[in-house]
Amino acid sequence: MNKLTLKTIAAHFNVSVSTVSKAINDSHEISEELKVKIRKFAKQNHYKPNRVALNLLNRNTKTIGVVIPNILNYFFVQVLFGIEQVADERGYSIITCSTNESLGKEVKILDFLCSGSVDGVIISTVAGEAQLSEHIAHFEELLQKQIPLVMFDRVTEMIECDKVVVDDIEAGYKATKHFLETGCRSLAIINPIPNSSIGRLRIEGFKRALKEQGIPFDSDMVVSLGVEDDLELTISLSLNLKELNGILVFDEITTVKVMDLLRSKGFLIPKDISVIGFTNGELSRYASPPVTMISQHGRFIGETSANKLIDRIEGKDDKAKFETKTIKTSLVVRQSTLSMEQQDF
């Protein structure tokens, strides 16, 4: 009973394959009697049309490929969750690929995704702008094959497609302003994603907020942290913690690590140093103290991306020009920063 196909059923009833097909699809062309017989048999034996065959026939797969840099990062999981929701509602499955922050793997994955296994792709690329200028071929292949593409979060201007981005300038501005408003004026940034353009944008917002208050920006305020770098070493080499009273960190896990480090060195948060992080996940909520965070609304980003992609796939906005949607962030104020009132005294 391994393979139950139209053919098998046809043989069983001594009719033709197309008759069975029509019967199962409830065509009016087939006699009621025969239809009932066939459908009953099909139901009993759990007949299901082979999706692969249908995919070949319809030239679609009702599947979308999702490519993220790291599945252990809560932000991306939130996005994935949003995508999953929408995909499910609209009748699509998702095939998830993690690049583990490796450009090589990203190329391999995109190559694979070009081969007809998916109807469209949602990606947050691992490639920084420098790398992309040399290594953009894997994207162009997708575009050339007319496979709809939506980039989110880590995007690039070098590729023309729909995009869903966070308003990172505003996010950096908002966080910095909160520092300033609560009396923290000696600030630093820790950037664990130095290759990505989003870091640059957040720093842009940081600068803007400083400028408004007439505080000069100095590039020493920004500490880049490579994947391999030791947090403690890097920080002790680059920052004079005693003079700081606010640190902005660009991802969630690094945020709590920085807080651990500060505590172990005897600093009190937020009394001595305030901390604001990015990505409002569970870690921030239950860390001690609970962390003031920029929420990028990952789930909403996922939903937006998925809806846009599926619209594209289904040709709903066939002629519409590519669109970049900007998702506003929120500052979720908790106890790792001083309160406004506290500061007033």
Partner DNA sequence: CTGTTAGCGCATTCAC
Partner DNA sequence: GTGAATGCGCTAACAG
**Which residues of this protein are in contact with a copy of itself, per CB under 8 A?**
1-2, 46, 48-53, 55-56, 61, 63, 71-72, 77-78, 80-81, 84, 93-98, 111-112, 114-117, 141, 144-146, 253, 256-257, 259-260, 282-283, 286-288
User: Which of 115/219 has CB closer to a copy of itself?
Assistant: 115
User: Which of 11/340 has CB closer to DNA?
Assistant: 11
C-alpha to C-alpha distance for 181 and 123, rounded to whole angstroms: 37
16 binds, among DNA, a copy of itself, none (CB under 5 to 8 A by kind): DNA
Burial category of 60 from C-beta neighbours within 10 Å (exposed 0-12, middle 13-18, buried 19 and up): middle
Contact residues for DNA (CB under 7 A)?
3, 5-7, 14-19, 21-22, 24-25, 27, 29-32, 34-35, 48-50, 53-54, 56-57, 59
Beta strands in 45-104 (DSSP E): 63-68, 93-98
47 contacts 8 by C-beta, under 8 angstroms: no
274 contacts 285 by C-beta, under 8 angstroms: no
User: Which of 25/330 has CB closer to DNA?
Assistant: 25
User: Which of 176/279 has CB closer to a copy of itself?
Assistant: 279
Shortest gap between Cβ of 59 and a copy of itself (angstroms)? 8
Q: Where are the alpha helices (DSSP H) in 163-267?
A: 168-181, 197-212, 231-238, 252-264
25 binds, among a copy of itself, DNA, none (CB under 5 to 8 A by kind): DNA
Shortest gap between Cβ of 20 and DNA (angstroms)? 8
C-alpha to C-alpha distance for 105 and 177, rounded to whole angstroms: 39
11 binds, among DNA, a copy of itself, none (CB under 5 to 8 A by kind): none
Contacts (Cβ under 8 Å, ≥6 apart) of 155: 124, 125, 163, 165, 197, 324
User: Which of 129/140 has CB closer to a copy of itself?
Assistant: 140
Angle at 30 between CA 24 and CA 34, to 5 degrees: 75
User: Which of 40/185 has CB closer to a copy of itself?
Assistant: 40
31 binds, among a copy of itself, DNA, none (CB under 5 to 8 A by kind): DNA
Shortest gap between Cβ of 38 and DNA (angstroms)? 9
Q: Tokens 């007439």 identify what position?
A: 214
106 contacts 76 by C-beta, under 8 angstroms: no
